[in-house]
């Protein structure tokens, strides 16, 4: 739930301040649902504790790939609606996949390091 809210609000604000106002609502729901998918698959929708055991690398990777597929599909629909052309929307899918792939690489690199920091900050000694 928390990742979904963060993704929804952050993406909507990015579109607002980046001048892509026609995509604010789309991004809110597309990225919010992607965050719910990934967070739900890896930590649960309402994790009881920030320090509970983490999901396996394989489970995290699968969740990220499913989130990527959802994001590409969601933006395809958004582009089709805004640009009024399925062909143009389809031509943009590659860019969504590239940015999501970059995000997956960053997530794989940073997640273990951030988990250690979070555990240190929120675990009672």
CB atoms < 10 A from the CB of 13, how many? 13
Nearest to 101 by CA among 71, 57, 58: 71
Name the residue with tokens 């597929």: 69
pLDDT score recorded for residue 50? 59
Residue 118 belongs to what domain range? Answer: 2-122
Report angle CA 47, 53, 54 to the nearest 5 degrees: 80
pLDDT score recorded for residue 73? 98
User: Which letter does DSSP use for residue 52 in this model?
Assistant: S
Per-block average pLDDT, block size 10, for the chain (125 residues)? Answer: 88 96 97 94 72 76 95 97 97 95 92 83 73
CB atoms < 10 A from the CB of 26, how many? 20
CB atoms < 10 A from the CB of 66, how many? 14
CATH code at position 44: 1.10.1760.20
Tally of structural domains, the chain: 1
């Amino acid at each position: 739930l928390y990742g979904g809210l963060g993704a929804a609000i952050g993406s909507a604000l990015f579109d607002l301040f980046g001048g892509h106002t026609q995509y604010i609502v789309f991004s809110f729901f597309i990225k919010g649902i992607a965050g719910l998918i990934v967070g739900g698959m890896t930590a649960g929708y309402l994790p009881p504790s920030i320090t509970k055991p983490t999901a396996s690398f394989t489970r995290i990777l699968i969740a990220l790939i499913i989130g990527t597929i959802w994001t590409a599909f969601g933006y395809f629909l958004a582009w089709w609606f805004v640009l009024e052309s399925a062909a143009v929307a389809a031509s943009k899918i590659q860019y969504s996949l590239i940015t999501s792939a970059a995000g997956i690489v960053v997530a794989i690199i940073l997640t273990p390091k951030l988990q250690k920091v979070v555990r240190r900050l929120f675990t009672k000694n």
